[in-house]
Amino acid sequence: MTLRLKVNLIVGALTILFVAAVLALQLRSMRESVNEEVVAANRVATQLLQRNAWLYAAQGTPAILAYLQGIGRVRSNEIVLFDAQGQELYRSPPSTYKAGRDAPDWFERLIAPRPSMQSIAFPGGKLVMQSNASRAAVDAWDYVLVLTFGAVVLLVVVNALVFWLVGRTLRPFGQIVGALEALEAGRFDAALPPLAGTEAALIGAAFNRMVGRLRQNIETERRAALAESRLSDNRELTRWIERQLEQERRLIAHELHDELGQSVTAMHSMAVSIAQRVRGLDTQAEQAARTIADESSRLYEAMQGIIPRLAPLVLDNFGLADALADLVERTRRSQPSVTIDLQVELIDARLGGDAALALYRGAQEGMTNALRHGRATHIRVELRRDADAALLSVIDDGQGLPADPPASGHHGLRWLAERTEGLGGTFHVADRAPRGVELQVRLPLEAAAPATLAVARAA
């Protein structure tokens, strides 16, 4: 049901109630008027006949009969003359007013009072007067018909006028509905012109503001989706570059270990051999040979320090636990004043190569930052199982994170966070009370096996 029809029905119902109330009041007024008219007429007729009936009755029945025939009908009263035996001698003629028409019986019962009857007895007969409200009821019925016809016309005119006015008033709302349907169909360029009426104008302005904000939000979401897509592409490219770098690092580490390492070892062996052969024969040559041997040894040690930073070959050959143990041991040798604890308690699950490398790089980054930036004196490295994930923690007692880190700093932490999130894990680094920093890398395990790897090493 439309709003226009609802308003028309409401107005129609109110009009009908108003007309019904007016008709009820009119009926009440007509009933009182008819009652007053009939009662008054009956009283007048009674007084008239009482005064004259005895005069004419003394002259005999023919005289009173002639008198009654002369006066005919007295307003809304019927006059009947009876003789001493009760036979009807005379009845007043019917009224000529609106002759042949009568109001409906139900209406006459509703509007007319109860008939009243007056009787005058005299020698030789009796005169009976009975009120008759039929003509007054006809008048009232005609008035009701006119009033009803006027009410119907009024109802039709009012409803037609209301229907037209409501339609004109609600016309802007049709435009609003059309704009909403266009918006629902995906036309986000829908707009409403200035609408007539205060409420419609406010709704139209609010709709235009809503559509404008919706377009802005859609544009923002489109740009965000495009940026997210580009970011995803960049992350994929970054992961591919990382894999290529790791492969290149492994190749370089293998080349250093296999080729350059053997060459340096051979140089050291040959220099030592030369120094032994020329001992006591050529002091200058012996000194040069020993210098070459010493430099070869330092080069070999430096190369052995570079190889784990390029690619942890121990991780590929022996696994994550041994790689972490090797990392801690090398750090202890290079930082003898720092206490480093290592604890590994991990279900020997199928950690992927990328996940194992990320955990190793996390330990490496955490220890490097603790020593280089935090000036820590005690570092604890823990690797344990946490539900269906491997959790690496690096805790130090250093100076903590800087309050205002440089814009170009902590690239290693950002790289580690990106790498961890790319593997479906979580990364967290924060200050630790009362001092120090705690770094956590959590990566999901691929599968669990029954064997348990438990390695605990303390300083």
The sheet carrying 88-91 orders its strands as: 88-91, 77-83, 125-131, 117-122
pLDDT band at 441; cut points 50, 70, 90: very high
* Statement: residue 449 has pLDDT above 60: no
* Statement: residue 67 has pLDDT above 90: no
User: In the prediction, which pLDDT does 102 show?
Assistant: 81
pLDDT > 90 in the chain, percent = 5
* Statement: residue 448 has pLDDT above 50: no
Tens digits of per-residue pLDDT, 221-258? 888 888 888 877 776 777 677 677 767 766 776 666 66
- Three-state secondary-structure class, residue 77: strand
Distance CA 344, CA 321 (A): 7
Following DSSP, what letter does each residue of 23-75 receive, concatenated?
A: HHHHHHHHHHHHHHHHHHHHHHHHHHHHHHHHHHHHT-HHHHHHHHHHH---T
User: Of 160, 176, 192, which residue is a domain's last?
Assistant: 160
User: In the prediction, which pLDDT does 458 show?
Assistant: 39
Look at residue 247 and tell me if it is in a domain.
no
Out of 26-35, 57-66, 134-143, 374-383, the most confident range is 374-383
Residue 430 sits in a domain whose CATH number is 3.30.565.10
More confidently predicted of 457 and 360 = 360
Of the candidate ranges 51-55, 146-150, 324-328, 416-420, the one whose mean pLDDT is the lowest: 51-55
pLDDT > 70 in the chain, percent = 87
User: In the prediction, which pLDDT does 216 show?
Assistant: 80
Q: Other CB atoms closer than 10 Å to residue 390's CB: what's the count?
A: 23
* Statement: residue 188 has pLDDT above 80: no
User: Of 160, 187, 222, which residue is a domain's last?
Assistant: 160
Distance CA 327, CA 323 (A): 6
* Statement: residue 381 has pLDDT above 90: yes
Look at residue 415 and tell me if it is in a domain.
yes
Distance CA 372, CA 353 (A): 28
pLDDT band at 100; cut points 50, 70, 90: confident
**Amino acid present at 198:** T
Segment 179-183 shows an average pLDDT of 78
Number of domains within the chain: 2
User: Of 135, 160, 185, which residue is a domain's last?
Assistant: 160
pLDDT band at 84; cut points 50, 70, 90: confident
Look at residue 175 and tell me if it is in a domain.
no
* Statement: residue 134 has pLDDT above 90: no
Strands 339-347 and 378-386: parallel
Report the predicted TM-score, pTM, of the whole model to 2 decimal places: 0.45
More confidently predicted of 145 and 448 = 145
User: In the prediction, which pLDDT does 456 show?
Assistant: 39
User: In the prediction, which pLDDT does 339 show?
Assistant: 92
pLDDT band at 309; cut points 50, 70, 90: low
Q: How many CA atoms lie within 13 A of 111 on its CB side?
A: 30
> How far are the Cα atoms of 126, 345, 356, 359 from residue 452, in angstroms, in the given order?
137, 8, 17, 18
Of the candidate ranges 130-139, 230-239, 313-322, 388-397, the one whose mean pLDDT is the lowest: 230-239
Look at residue 407 and tell me if it is in a domain.
yes
User: In the prediction, which pLDDT does 347 show?
Assistant: 54
Q: Structural domain of residue 149, as residue ranges?
A: 3-160
More confidently predicted of 359 and 76 = 359
Segment 272-279 shows an average pLDDT of 80
* Statement: residue 171 has pLDDT above 80: no
The mean predicted confidence, pLDDT, of the chain is 78
* Statement: residue 303 has pLDDT above 50: yes
